[in-house]
Chain A
């Protein structure tokens, strides 16, 4: 199975900060990489698919980059509603799919 490792596991930041979360795959996955945001008590929400394509309705302050084994999710200017947990997901080895362990983004 392809392992997905996110870093950091948790992060404290302030409103207005630029934040970057990384995701590393145990083998090359091309750009079969998606990012999700999850708030407490809610289902995950798709942010980015295909490594860099922004899902409809998602604010443009979110962006994704990378290919192969190394990927990043960047939030250009943190807003109060962005404090949540973020997960990467690889679908390269579909039908077997794996998620990263998550990055919890907290208010400093």
Chain B
């Protein structure tokens, strides 16, 4: 079955960078876009962007342009999301989610989430 296993919780200082990994199994990794979504404490879901693991093409929402980088390593079926110049309001749980397409795109599988805490 499809599984997305994310890296563990991180604590970072303001201004630092964080890199979260998402290891996929149970399907052909390169065949599906991978999205990243974050959720601040007590808040809703915020879409950040996606990567096409096959081509390396990315698309980021404007809010994170210049601070986020999404990459993938297809031989090891792993996607990464790196966020730089961290601020306290970047404290959130970060999820990876696989995009599936059945006439319409949707996120059919999600990682368990990675808590990133930004604190001095």
Interface residues of A (CB under 8 A from B): 31-32, 34, 36, 38, 43-46, 49-50, 53, 55, 87, 89, 91, 94-102
Most buried by B among A55, A96, A97: A97
Per-residue 0/1 for B80-120: is the Cβ within 8 Å of any A Cβ (1 yes, 0 no)?
00000000000000010100001111111011110000000
Say whether B103 contacts A50, CB under 8 Å: yes
Give chain B's interface secondary structure class. strand
Q: How many A-B residue pairs have CB under 8 A?
A: 60
What is the number of residues of chain B that contact chain A, defined by CB distance less than 8 Å? 22
- Which of B's residues lie within 8 Å of A, judged by CB? 35, 37, 44-47, 50, 59, 61, 95, 97, 102-108, 110-113
In the complex, chain B residues whose CB is within 8 Å of the CB of A49: 102, 104, 106, 108
Q: 15 extra interchain contacts, Cβ-Cβ under 8 A, other than A87-B45, A94-B105?
A: A31-B104, A32-B105, A36-B45, A36-B107, A38-B45, A43-B111, A43-B113, A46-B106, A50-B104, A89-B106, A91-B105, A91-B106, A96-B59, A97-B35, A101-B44
